[in-house]
Structure 1
Amino acid sequence: MNHLSMALKNLKNNFSFYALYLLSISFVITIFFAFTSFSMNKIMLEKISGDGRVETMCNTISIFLMAFVIFYMSYSNRFFLRRRTKELGIYALLGYRKSTILSLLTAENLLSCFGAFVIGILLGGLFHKGIVFGITKLLNLTVNNSEIPFFNLNALVKTACFVFAIIIILSLSNNRFLFKSSLMDLVRFEKSAEKQTKFHAVPSIIGFLFVILGYCIALDILQGEKSVWFSVGFYAVGMLTFTLILLGTVLFIASFLPYAVQTGKKNKKKFYTETRIITSPGFIYRMRSNSKTLIMLTLLSAATLTVSSIMALTLYYPIAAISRIAPSEIECRIEKESDLSAIMEIVNNYSSGDDITFLQTDIYKVTSTARQLPMEYSVGTSKGDADNEKILRNAGFECISYSDYTAILKAQGRQKALEQFTTLNNNECIFVRYQPASGKDEAGSTYPLLINNTEIPVTVTMTTLDNPISFANSVGTLIVSDSLYKMISEHAAPETKVLSINGNSITGNEDLFQALSVYLDKIPYLQGNSHRIHEVVSLNSSTFLLIGFLVVLFFIATGSILYFNNISAIADSKSDYDILTKMGYTNRKIKKIIRKQVITFFSIPFLFGLADCIFATLVYKTALMQNLLANSLVLYAPTILAIALTLIIYLIYYCMTVHTCCKMVLEK
């Protein structure tokens, strides 16, 4: 019998055991081939990348992708090699040379990788087509799908060469293992484990304190400018926090958890139960023998959760913030009288809807003699100073009337915002903040306005984040009463005239926006809600797509390694379960024990990864994202969704693992 036929027979006889391995590496190759096809799709790259940014990202992520695939397949190969060492030892006893055994293993890898390659190419081509279709629909691109082949020849060749290189790497790894191991090592290797780690009270306490200290430093960023993140420096404190949590996680898992269980054994009432007396010693043994694997899984889980959560938040938050950056569907400045009629004509040419509203708002700049004004009203550059930011504007307020304010909000469809306001009396006003809670609460404060050389004090009745005008045209708009606004307009000329255009019939009309942009000579004061959303999605979609490839691989690797590791542990202790059966343990109780053992090693990486993800996301949002929206749980909805998705994937792998383990132990 030649090596290929022996390898094929082994795979057939153990197909149920190899099924998930074949499936997982098929998915890995699917992701790799789809990514490679996309990175070599010149038609799509020309559409979404004009500056070579996407191509550079593809090259960078490709390196990480290949390294990760090699790591995952090497780990999987090592796992199956460990499960078969006794069988390989028997081959050696029967007179097979190590070179012959190596040829058999190489043939098995060749067949497995070939099968996974075929499946991966078929699914990868389909996945690539789906990505192209999704991006063209999302970004409204004009692409002839018939010009994009189902199988990109260059991507096919690159994937085939990469898979062949992996087979060579696995063969070299197997060669090193076989020729390093003696016959006795092969026979007894299945009972060996990772180098056992001893646990003591001191490193346990240090690990616990490191983790708590790292999380406390992360929370300190909520103090704002008083935080050590600002006083010491973001990079230095960030590296310190990362180091503390990393070392703390290693010591916590390797020492604190088993130490806590070992200490808990002193409580005899809780320890001596029909399940805990089995699961606790098993947990301690696995912590001793597999602590390195569990630490690696925890860090991998933390990376998966953090990257996916931050990616979701980074995509969602800028889109949510556009409701403040550009609240109207279209907004621009009126520089001359003819602009208004010309703009209305352009809008009517692109839309005939009767729901379109045109609201012109005259903004008056009023100087204030107050010693100190809120940040929004005291900083910035003078009008038209885009090229010379050293000229600071005069401290004062950009005022609009309460009637104009409510009319714009109504046109924008912001009915909930209108409900919180009441009509202003003569000398009352409303502050529009740039950022939430930027300094003290101004409600109740009084500021003097200089109108016709006369100081008129106005009292702030409330502050709000519901700005009616885009930040490009007015930052920190002050809403004054209609009577006071009339007085201002009688003694001054408008600083700026802003036209707000709203209506469902023009929502998402990119052609209309581009036509207005051409007419207005592409001035930066032309803003649009749908246009900004389209711009954000266009700029970031390719980035998140490429990072998404890595996240999917993280999911596959983490779940599969947990699956293989738990199966290995249960298989090693199968004789112990046979003894439990003879002692009178029912199948139901044995399943309960298996579920508890498996859930422990699924929950530790997930819960630690979840904690790291929460604090990392908190630091990222607070320090690296501009805060324009009020703090609300809704802002974290994408992060919660990413965590929920990860939990579902973990539960699927958990159910598969429990099913396989129970079948392995209870089958006769």
Structure 2
Amino acid sequence: MYAKLAKNNAKKSIKDYLIYFITITICVSLFYAITSLSSSSYELITEASYNFKTLKLILQYSTYVITAILILLVSYVNKYMIRRRQREFATYVLLGAEQKSVALMFFVETLVIGILAIIAGIFVGTLFSQAITAIVLISAKQEIIFSLRLYMDTVCITFIFFISMFCIIGLYNVIVLRKLKLIDMLNAHKQVEFQFKRSGKVYSSIFALSVILYSICGSCTIKILNSKNDYSPIYLMYIGVSLITFIIGTYALFYSIAYIMIYIKDKWINFKYEGTNLFLIGSIVSKIKTAPILMATISMTFLGAMISFIITLVMAQWSLGYLEMRVPYDIDIRNNYNTRFLKEANIRDVKELPKLDYSEVIDYLNNTGYDLESYCEVEKYIVNIDENNTFNVAISLSDFNKLRSMLGYKEIELKENEFTTQWHGATNNEVINNYLKKNYQLNINGKIFNISENSNYKESIGEGFYHKRDNIIILPDKVCEELDFLEVNFLANIENEMSYEEADDFQYNYVYEWFRKNNSEFVKKYSSESDITKSVIYTRVNSLETNNILNMTLAMRILGIYLGVVLLMISLTILSLSQLSDSIEHKDRFSVLKKLGVQGKEIDKIILKQISLYFTVPIAIAMIGVSIFTYNYYLYYKDIINVYVGDTTFILSIVFGVTLMIIVYICYFVGTYYSFKRNVND
């Protein structure tokens, strides 16, 4: 009997909680699609230069963490279902059913709904997995191949993960239901989560506090706009205070807003009794009053979803843009002589550092079939060392022009008494101008050099040339012969690309062995071979770096969108279910309106206004928070965004994230509206 009753209730629950069912289905489908990438049967056809093992591991374990957030949604919905149906459960007990059996019946009912959602989600997930595969292949510039299939190991993982989630929450609900008293179950519909238990002065004070906190947030944002972005503690404090005050202010606002609305309603008599305003205001205040913390949390969840959508898309593009500056050559080998190494190795004189000869590396690359297209051994020199052991790094004009030629830039010219500067691409123009005003002349061995008419260049030549500063000095060749030598960088472009395995072997095996063999005395003098080698020599291979950054970029894009979807669906599903609960529990109110002669179209308008306000308020507040966060984020990373992302791409990422959110929002809004009307009219 209980099994039949649970089955019938499950069918009814699917109809009543269709939005919840669809939400779980979509989340299951995304979980399955992402997890399927790590399936033992999954084949991702790409060129040998790509290896997506890291991507698969990141997606596999990160997906578990993100999906675990759904526990909040499942827990809320189960709590909501128990609360709504306690009178029904009490009726079963009065008819002779054991309370333990009723609790188990509810557990089976929710488990059936969950299993159906898992099954539906897996089949939808086969389509989503193809979309994710297409994203990976497009990013790797590969041909897109579609293949719809089920991966049984991923199916098992999906079932185990979600059923475990449903069972943990379900068994907890069984314990809760068994402990409920019959009288409490019968009176559950009269209870609310929150009542005005304090005086009006308390709620007025909290509302005033929320206004003050929002004012502080706005004041900090204005100060950020008017202040100089110098990354100082005060500047960072403004950013932190603006976000913290906004979050606390939001909770304070929702905690007190119901009381303030009632106060305004009582004072605004004419508006209160105009048309159906009294009914509408009562419904809205009732919902806000019963769950203020929930409404504020929904607003913050929506804020988190928006930030996840926008920032992960920007960060992914940031990584790709940084790659072009980080490794513009196919191969980059250099010494890694930083201050920490010199101190740890107890090297007091940089002249002790070995001058690397790359002729053997050149022969190796040509003899193994990679065929050097062009290369340059760039010698770096020390200029103007001071008492703090800081100095400028200089390279010769001929080496600089060779690098520019390799990268497709025009060569430059310098007079005998001139110098120019090369800057890291993310350096602020104001910083460059201030530096050049103070250093428009150089005194090298008693000879004065003036800054060239073209005083600075920012085209990327790789980031391995900058020591402690964000710039290097370009000098005529003859002058460099008189300077103290620092190190040699080897940059090369090859005609035949290395595969992932070949690049990994070259970077982590061949180069280290070559260095140890040719600098054995230096290695023995200062440390063990492995430690000193990894500290001194540094290699970057374009194909290997591209693969690693592509793995991180894809992971950020996929997981960022997934996290945003999960948070968005949690907030919108709770909003929707809360309204649908109101449509069922207060159906009699709408029946009274009909008996009073209110037309059906007018009732539809009331429903539309109620849902619009209930959906709009928390989301509108979240959008303000998103605007503040995005604005602060842009100001703080403005220089880097301009270089690696671009203003256009940054704006497009925001537009894409907001558009996606609006589409999902409209779908939930429309679904809630029509479900609400159906519940009222049935």
* TM > 0.5 fold call: yes
Partner Cα separation in structure 2 for residue 264 and residue 459 of structure 1: 73
**One-letter amino acid of the structure 2 residue matched with residue 659 of structure 1:** Y
Partner of 1:441: 433
- 8 A Cα contact 1:364 1:495, kept in partner: yes
Deviation at 1:581, TM superposition (A): 4.7
Between stretches 598-607 and 6-15, larger displacement belongs to 6-15
Distance 1:156 1:593, change over 3 A: closer
**One-letter amino acid of the structure 1 residue matched with residue 428 of structure 2:** P
Distance 1:439 1:140, change over 3 A: closer
- 8 A Cα contact 2:62 2:559, kept in partner: no
Q: Does 1:488 align with 2:479?
A: yes
Q: Does 1:202 align with 2:205?
A: yes
Partner of 2:566: 553
Partner of 1:388: none
Partner Cα separation in structure 1 for residue 565 and residue 542 of structure 2: 32
- 8 A Cα contact 1:89 1:186, kept in partner: yes
SS at match of 1:360: strand
Equivalent runs, 1:90-105 vs 2, <5 Å: 90-91=91-92, 98-99=99-100, 101-105=102-106
Deviation per residue, 1:3-34 (Å, 9 max, x gap) = 22223233445643233333333445556667
Q: Does 1:657 align with 2:672?
A: yes
Give % identity: 15
Deviation at 1:250, TM superposition (A): 1.1
Distance 1:60 1:21, change over 3 A: closer
Distance 1:556 1:413, change over 3 A: farther
**One-letter amino acid of the structure 2 residue matched with residue 564 of structure 1:** L
- 8 A Cα contact 2:376 2:403, kept in partner: no
Between stretches 517-526 and 281-290, larger displacement belongs to 517-526
Deviation at 1:211, TM superposition (A): 3.7
Equivalent runs, 1:630-645 vs 2, <5 Å: 630=643, 633=647, 634-635=649-650, 637-638=652-653, 641-645=656-660
Distance 1:87 1:213, change over 3 A: same
How many residues align? The count is 614
Distance 1:663 1:605, change over 3 A: same
Between stretches 7-16 and 282-291, larger displacement belongs to 7-16
**One-letter amino acid of the structure 2 residue matched with residue 299 of structure 1:** M
- 8 A Cα contact 1:472 1:525, kept in partner: no
Partner of 1:608: 621
SS at match of 2:476: helix
SS at match of 1:441: helix
Q: Does 1:471 align with 2:487?
A: no
Partner of 2:392: 396
**One-letter amino acid of the structure 1 residue matched with residue 7 of structure 2:** L
Partner of 1:17: 16
Partner Cα separation in structure 2 for residue 99 and residue 516 of structure 1: 67
Deviation per residue, 1:176-200 (Å, 9 max, x gap) = 3xx3241xx5455435432224763
Distance 1:211 1:165, change over 3 A: same
Between stretches 511-520 and 131-140, larger displacement belongs to 131-140
Deviation per residue, 1:545-601 (Å, 9 max, x gap) = 667665543233222111101112233443444454556655444433323322222
Distance 1:276 1:410, change over 3 A: farther
- 8 A Cα contact 1:326 1:529, kept in partner: yes
Equivalent runs, 1:39-78 vs 2, <5 Å: 62=64, 65-66=67-68, 68-78=69-79
Where in structure 1 are there 5+ consecutive unaligned residues? 370-377, 380-390
Equivalent runs, 1:142-157 vs 2, <5 Å: 149-151=152-154, 156-157=159-160
Distance 1:122 1:269, change over 3 A: same
Deviation per residue, 1:224-261 (Å, 9 max, x gap) = 3443366x8x9xx95x7776444322111222476268
Deviation at 1:293, TM superposition (A): 2.1
- 8 A Cα contact 1:436 1:629, kept in partner: no
SS at match of 1:601: helix
Q: TM-score, normalised by structure 1?
A: 0.73
Deviation at 1:303, TM superposition (A): 3.1
Partner of 1:166: 169
SS at match of 2:381: strand
Between stretches 541-550 and 636-645, larger displacement belongs to 541-550
Partner Cα separation in structure 1 for residue 477 and residue 219 of structure 2: 53
Partner of 1:454: 447
- 8 A Cα contact 1:126 1:150, kept in partner: no
Deviation per residue, 1:23-71 (Å, 9 max, x gap) = 3334455566677877897999xx8779x9959x9779757754x3443
Deviation at 1:75, TM superposition (A): 1.3
Q: TM-score, normalised by structure 2?
A: 0.71
- 8 A Cα contact 2:301 2:571, kept in partner: yes
**One-letter amino acid of the structure 2 residue matched with residue 20 of structure 1:** I
Partner of 1:228: 234
Distance 1:151 1:226, change over 3 A: closer
Deviation per residue, 1:517-536 (Å, 9 max, x gap) = 46644885543555423222
**One-letter amino acid of the structure 2 residue matched with residue 655 of structure 1:** V
Deviation at 1:209, TM superposition (A): 1.7
Between stretches 525-534 and 511-520, larger displacement belongs to 511-520
SS at match of 1:288: helix
- 8 A Cα contact 1:92 1:98, kept in partner: yes
**One-letter amino acid of the structure 2 residue matched with residue 224 of structure 1:** D
SS at match of 1:252: helix
Equivalent runs, 1:520-539 vs 2, <5 Å: 520-521=511-512, 524-538=537-551
Distance 1:130 1:644, change over 3 A: closer
Partner Cα separation in structure 2 for residue 492 and residue 123 of structure 1: 67
Distance 1:499 1:257, change over 3 A: farther
SS at match of 1:488: helix
- 8 A Cα contact 2:329 2:542, kept in partner: yes
**One-letter amino acid of the structure 2 residue matched with residue 449 of structure 1:** L
Partner Cα separation in structure 2 for residue 361 and residue 265 of structure 1: 82
Equivalent runs, 1:297-308 vs 2, <5 Å: 297-308=298-309
SS at match of 2:540: coil
Partner Cα separation in structure 2 for residue 203 and residue 29 of structure 1: 41
Partner Cα separation in structure 1 for residue 42 and residue 215 of structure 2: 50
Equivalent runs, 1:24-39 vs 2, <5 Å: 24-30=23-29
Distance 1:530 1:86, change over 3 A: same
Deviation at 1:611, TM superposition (A): 3.8
SS at match of 1:566: helix
Partner of 2:359: 338
Distance 1:32 1:493, change over 3 A: closer
**One-letter amino acid of the structure 2 residue matched with residue 294 of structure 1:** M
- 8 A Cα contact 1:327 1:412, kept in partner: yes
SS at match of 2:449: strand
Distance 1:203 1:327, change over 3 A: same
Distance 1:450 1:154, change over 3 A: same
- 8 A Cα contact 2:377 2:490, kept in partner: yes
Distance 1:607 1:495, change over 3 A: same
Partner Cα separation in structure 1 for residue 191 and residue 88 of structure 2: 15
Distance 1:103 1:486, change over 3 A: closer
Partner Cα separation in structure 2 for residue 276 and residue 430 of structure 1: 70
Deviation at 1:539, TM superposition (A): 5.2
Deviation per residue, 1:127-185 (Å, 9 max, x gap) = 679878977997899xxx99974456576556545543333223223333xx3241xx5
Partner Cα separation in structure 1 for residue 157 and residue 264 of structure 2: 59
Between stretches 92-101 and 655-664, larger displacement belongs to 92-101
Partner of 1:259: 260
SS at match of 1:527: strand
Query: How much is the aligned-residue C-alpha RMSD, in angstroms?
Result: 5.1
- 8 A Cα contact 2:373 2:492, kept in partner: yes
